[in-house]
Structure 1
């Protein structure tokens, strides 16, 4: 459509003017309320306001103070423009010619046409500036008939159409462009604007000739009306918003990267998160290669070549990727471990590593020829581009990331985006590798502090299972122990230190050592927990110098089982009670008083004693076995009881494996499980006698001991045992109180126990040359493998053991 058609529409009440408007070069659209709803680039050049700043503001705000704006369109016929002073954004006035034309009926939207006086005077009033502004505009302006067929378009529109006037004149939008969904949406919006008489807006994405990246086009559709208000045509103005669009895309990608990359605290997974995020929004192929130090491998010597390993790859890479050990499919990932490969210094990744900066090249380029790098893209391929950026954190280079495009080159904005992504990912990888190193250290420390095999003892058939926490949770402080005690008894222990990491593992080791020490002096369970609580409080006081360290907190369950009486004494500090599984498969938590957590101090602990039935199981566990994010403690215990229904005929080791497999299909928190089947000491292996409180009874006791040892086939132990019995019984008669009882136990060791009613603890001393006494307990210590004493409710027991078989 030429000037003649524009003039005809203007004379019939249309939007666009004729010869009277030829001197104007800027266009401002004003709605019925007098607010700006259209602002051309020329208006921005004249008044300094960007389109976003002007949109929606009253148009009279752009008229200088004291100046009268142009008269409204339709009330006074304007054959010539109005000269007035407009307000520039910088504050000064701009003298301009302004003419107003109505877009629809009187009182409705209008269009202001304006130009600076200097520009108008210099160019002359009959040069046809309006025609030039329309035809030379950087916006694609088109006029369409009510049948949606093209009537007229400015010069830039034909650049977008990629066709001449004769090829597109009279065609529908879907006939000019490929008839995809976005152009059908454009036609539908044009129909709505025509049928309703209201403006519409549509976003489409098109490529400009010579460019491969699609551009965002914001298309505004205005109905053109005659003097009676009827729609006689449609005017579309398509503006290229690609700069803002791609800026939003980059910001969106960076935001997504910060939200999704690095939360796993796993080095290789973090690298995969980067490549998966980048394809296809940023690149067709994304590769991450890491240096040996990043993966905990010291392969690169001081003078040797720099080597890297491909740990993550996404996108279409072709057959060469198969040989490199990575999946060639879209969004493929490293399939197992790829080989270490030396980095060529003149390759694109090599340049990025040595220059310590992001490097961008357009294809073809000799630096993009990387045999074994996970892509078969040849150096001579035409089109596309590549970027390599070092992954650097805290001044340390961890690896390199490479992005490829098969057709579209990267630009300077892409380079900045890649640098941001590489920096964000490098920080996450650095955090992950430090966490993995700490996790490995804590796990090694924890494994070294936990028992490897149950110790040799006859009181219980025991097995334990331990599952360390996953990498995200970190190594915790769960622990367990089986401690042989005097008198063929055994202590069963489970505990849980609050927190994770090396600190928790070290604290666990200290507490386990303290428990073993306290167990060796045969403290009752409730007294042992009291002493342990005091030690934890002392550990807290030692930490006061470093306020950043949290206080020590722990829960412990301590049980002592006696195979002679089949009685078990249990005490607990904020720990879940053990499960007693009966032979018929039913189970229940033992009723044990719940003490406070270790570290509170001053609160009492209590114990409970229960007789264990034949063929039962005692199951001790930490909360990691039964409790998880999706399962509370009560539901977890119920689930554990279900798993133990058929455990009666299984070995403790098999029960451990089955329970951990059922309760912990995925690792979360640390979990420790201790399963024990109590045994009963055979009556034939036990002998006991009441001893009169008289020194003359010692001789008779020796005789009874000799007879019992002969019955047990231990004649070779008679002499030593007689000496030990003589000394222990003599001490009890001389220094103790009645009743006095002697007990012999044949187990893995020959155990001699003398009980009396005195609370006085024995004291061993080394007699000097002329001392008449003081050699008794010293002699017992020399003749026995171990000896000691423990307090009971009605006195004390002094015991001595002789090993019968080599300890396992």
Structure 2
């Protein structure tokens, strides 16, 4: 039970801690018995008070004038209570509450028991009333009083006592408790009375169970206090027993305990099904013997909840059994297993709850054949008869004015029917669960939206083309941490090359997924410009900084945008791989023999910080090497060091010859948790190499334009004939003529005249023609006027090729053009 619940419960044990002076008066108001608690309260001993009118203890004239009417007013009702001011032995006044109860004895004699309690503490019956919160207590003093002689025989009893312990007055008077009601409980209480009679020390707040003897009525919780009464000589006259019925207190405490326990057990996760099951488990067996929670199917899929209390067109929405608990193994009372759709007849009580949004309370459930329930819902009525369901509550589950489902509470084993207080408890339980369900649903919707956005933004059919075979795995983070901003990409480049990209946006949720989509688009745009890796990361860094400034200008967000990225370009013609990274974990390279290395690569700063240039590294990769790019979620967790994770990943990847898909699975299966704390992305690429027969290259001296162009056309025609591509000879010769001519004209000022122009043909999925020179000036496509004699070269190249472009090289630039090959070539 949590602390808030504990402080909210005034326990029954404190009921009699404030019980004050106990005095016994005869019919004339003369004190005939005096307790030690009374001695401590007013300072008078029994010898000083017994035999004197009780009115002598009253200090004010007004109280003395009222004193003779105490017995008269009490005689009409058997009880009286009010405020008075008593005179202490040393002369000062004491403000007290007086409670007078009529006692009946043998021979129709009547006496009175008076309890005086200091006003600084409430009397026991008011404390009990505040705990039990029962409306009838203020008008009906709930205190039972029994006076016993020095032999513990009952001599006096008030009218309230018989209702508490179930012993009639005629059976009680003249007998001890064990004689009137034999049993272990009576023996225990009588032993305590013996101790009080011998020592004079009161015993308060003794818990016991009624009625006496047990089994003669409904069980109740009683709190008893025992005080010794002394005569004029101070000798033990007998024992006064004061009893308060704390059954309502106990029930209230039990209900609050259920709520306190439920507050710890419900809503531990953001999973809708889990929360519904927690609600069912919290109710059984503390409140019900069988509980079923049915939630709208739309909520389970992360969709919006139902319209306010039912579908707008009057149709019953589809529900699914989300929580199920029973005191019987396997919950045989349920017609539907957990996770199955639930049918709801249009005229059943469940439908009325759905449409009205109010609870259905049926403490005495009648499901016999021919009854209304049997006619409206025959299947549930049959189940009720089979499993002796005798009390039913159906509570709507709704939050923020929207219906989410229903919760059913049934009693089968417990013979007591549900009470109104049980309905209030069930509604409070469901209300607390509804808040958790609403939070879970809203999170589920956000997570679903982020996952949907991310899946649409990530590649679905990435291919490495002639450069590599690729495989990947993407695992979203668990429901607690939320979807992150991991992404990967395989981008085809000119000349049979590919770009491999893996990145990770800082943060989680739909915002991170949207940012990831923007960065992925930016990488595609920059990659299409054939930038070197280090230059691409520099431009991407500028893009992230601009995005961060845009976010900072918005008043509704102050999130900092940042990301890490690793960008690699692999050329199957040269088998070289150039890569650079921005704060990202290094790539892993697995050679054909299975040896795993993490190449030394400058880490760089994460994207969005700026100020520091990025560096790239170029490596030679043998054919059938595997390049592994990943995010930190694969190698790092809250409780796992990154070095341990990298060693674990290396061990999982060191399997030469294993298919990439199986290698991906092997790497992911080594994770310590099945649901990761962070997104996990793994991209594997097994490199290929172009066959030497697929590449033809030449070098030319830029001395005689016509001679060079003619020679290039001849070499191209001869090579295409060897490849069986005669139908492309004419178009390729025209492309080569224009590109070589441009290289001679626009690159002649910087070329060294010794092999300054290069020509290369690559036959793979397409036919690529590349012409390189030593100039770093990019050509521009333009539309010349009709009077101009030049400027139409690139326009012609555009018409003859499927696509063309240019990129910088370490020695200058390279212009390329691609033509589609026939199927099968």
Q: Common fold, TM-score beyond 0.5?
A: yes
Return closer, same or farther for 1:277/1:231 CA change in 2, 3 Å cut-off.
farther
Aligned to 1:387: 393
Return closer, same or farther for 1:565/1:117 CA change in 2, 3 Å cut-off.
closer
Does residue 561 (structure 1) correspond to residue 570 (structure 2)? The answer is yes
Return closer, same or farther for 1:483/1:244 CA change in 2, 3 Å cut-off.
same
Aligned to 1:542: 550
Between 286-295 and 709-718, the greater mean CA deviation after superposition: 286-295
> 1:576 and 1:480 mapped to 2: Cα distance?
14
- Indicate which of 723, 732, 742 corresponds to 2:743: 732
Aligned to 1:283: 288
Deviation at 1:192, TM superposition (A): 9.6
> 1:211 and 1:511 mapped to 2: Cα distance?
79
Counterparts of residues 580-659 of structure 1 (less than 5 Å): 580-645=589-654, 647-659=655-667
Aligned to 1:71: 44
Deviation track 1:586-615 (CA, whole Å, cap 9, x = no partner) reads 423222222222222333222222223454
Instruction: Tell me the matched-pair count.
Output: 727
Aligned to 1:349: 350
Aligned to 2:716: 705
- Indicate which of 695, 701, 712 corresponds to 1:686: 695
Deviation at 1:623, TM superposition (A): 1.9
Whether contact under 8 Å (1:84, 1:96) holds in the other structure is yes
Aligned to 1:716: 727
Whether contact under 8 Å (1:141, 1:157) holds in the other structure is yes
Aligned to 1:670: 679
Deviation at 1:580, TM superposition (A): 1.9
Aligned to 1:254: 259
Does residue 270 (structure 1) correspond to residue 275 (structure 2)? The answer is yes
Return closer, same or farther for 1:113/1:512 CA change in 2, 3 Å cut-off.
closer
> 1:648 and 1:545 mapped to 2: Cα distance?
52
Deviation at 1:191, TM superposition (A): 10
Return closer, same or farther for 1:320/1:509 CA change in 2, 3 Å cut-off.
closer
Aligned to 1:123: none
Counterparts of residues 2-81 of structure 1 (less than 5 Å): 23=30, 30=37, 34=40, 59=41, 69-73=42-46, 79-81=52-54
Whether contact under 8 Å (1:193, 1:200) holds in the other structure is no
Deviation track 1:177-221 (CA, whole Å, cap 9, x = no partner) reads 578xxx999899899989997857554555799999864433456
Whether contact under 8 Å (2:34, 2:230) holds in the other structure is no
Aligned to 1:744: 761
Deviation at 1:676, TM superposition (A): 1.2
Whether contact under 8 Å (2:102, 2:110) holds in the other structure is no
Deviation at 1:463, TM superposition (A): 0.7
Alignment partner of 2:341: what SS?
coil
Return closer, same or farther for 1:254/1:322 CA change in 2, 3 Å cut-off.
closer
Does residue 758 (structure 1) correspond to residue 767 (structure 2)? The answer is no
Alignment partner of 1:341: what SS?
coil
Deviation track 1:75-125 (CA, whole Å, cap 9, x = no partner) reads 78764433223899xxx995567899xxxxxxxxxxx999689999xxxxx
Counterparts of residues 314-333 of structure 1 (less than 5 Å): 314-316=325-327, 321=332, 324-326=335-337
Does residue 577 (structure 1) correspond to residue 598 (structure 2)? The answer is no
- Indicate which of 225, 244, 268 corresponds to 2:249: 244
Does residue 770 (structure 1) correspond to residue 787 (structure 2)? The answer is yes
Whether contact under 8 Å (2:47, 2:234) holds in the other structure is no
> 2:622 and 2:406 mapped to 1: Cα distance?
65
Return closer, same or farther for 1:203/1:453 CA change in 2, 3 Å cut-off.
farther
Aligned to 1:103: none
Deviation track 1:646-675 (CA, whole Å, cap 9, x = no partner) reads x21212121112222332523543211101
Alignment partner of 2:58: what SS?
strand
Counterparts of residues 771-790 of structure 1 (less than 5 Å): 771-790=788-807
Gaps of 5+ in 1: 1-13, 35-58, 60-68, 101-111, 121-125, 327-333
Whether contact under 8 Å (1:190, 1:200) holds in the other structure is no
Alignment partner of 1:546: what SS?
coil
Deviation at 1:308, TM superposition (A): 4.2
Deviation track 1:342-371 (CA, whole Å, cap 9, x = no partner) reads 342xx4434433433234232045676544
Deviation track 1:312-371 (CA, whole Å, cap 9, x = no partner) reads 232258999567223xxxxxxx2x313332342xx4434433433234232045676544
Deviation at 1:785, TM superposition (A): 1.9
- Indicate which of 403, 406, 412 corresponds to 2:409: 403
Whether contact under 8 Å (1:363, 1:380) holds in the other structure is no
> 1:413 and 1:285 mapped to 2: Cα distance?
18
Aligned to 2:111: 128
Between 314-323 and 248-257, the greater mean CA deviation after superposition: 314-323
> 1:173 and 1:635 mapped to 2: Cα distance?
78
> 2:449 and 2:499 mapped to 1: Cα distance?
29
- Indicate which of 85, 88, 107 corresponds to 2:59: 85
Alignment partner of 2:383: what SS?
coil
Counterparts of residues 459-474 of structure 1 (less than 5 Å): 459-474=467-482
Does residue 360 (structure 1) correspond to residue 371 (structure 2)? The answer is no
Does residue 517 (structure 1) correspond to residue 536 (structure 2)? The answer is no
Deviation at 1:621, TM superposition (A): 0.8
Whether contact under 8 Å (1:24, 1:115) holds in the other structure is no
> 1:443 and 1:475 mapped to 2: Cα distance?
7
Deviation at 1:150, TM superposition (A): 8.7
> 1:596 and 1:195 mapped to 2: Cα distance?
86
Aligned to 2:507: 499
> 1:621 and 1:174 mapped to 2: Cα distance?
83
Return closer, same or farther for 1:742/1:556 CA change in 2, 3 Å cut-off.
same
Between 506-515 and 186-195, the greater mean CA deviation after superposition: 186-195
Alignment partner of 1:129: what SS?
strand
Deviation at 1:451, TM superposition (A): 1.0
Whether contact under 8 Å (2:580, 2:602) holds in the other structure is yes
Between 761-770 and 526-535, the greater mean CA deviation after superposition: 761-770
> 1:687 and 1:119 mapped to 2: Cα distance?
121
Does residue 377 (structure 1) correspond to residue 384 (structure 2)? The answer is yes
Deviation track 1:384-433 (CA, whole Å, cap 9, x = no partner) reads 53332222222222222232234323333333333323333333333333
Whether contact under 8 Å (1:390, 1:400) holds in the other structure is yes
> 1:308 and 1:178 mapped to 2: Cα distance?
53
Does residue 337 (structure 1) correspond to residue 340 (structure 2)? The answer is yes
> 2:189 and 2:536 mapped to 1: Cα distance?
82
> 1:161 and 1:315 mapped to 2: Cα distance?
34
Whether contact under 8 Å (1:389, 1:422) holds in the other structure is yes
> 1:321 and 1:749 mapped to 2: Cα distance?
67
Deviation at 1:307, TM superposition (A): 5.8
Aligned to 2:17: none
Alignment partner of 2:384: what SS?
coil
TM-score, structure 1 as length reference? 0.77
Whether contact under 8 Å (1:174, 1:184) holds in the other structure is no
Alignment partner of 2:113: what SS?
helix
Alignment partner of 1:522: what SS?
coil
Aligned to 1:55: none
Aligned to 2:14: none
> 1:559 and 1:132 mapped to 2: Cα distance?
91
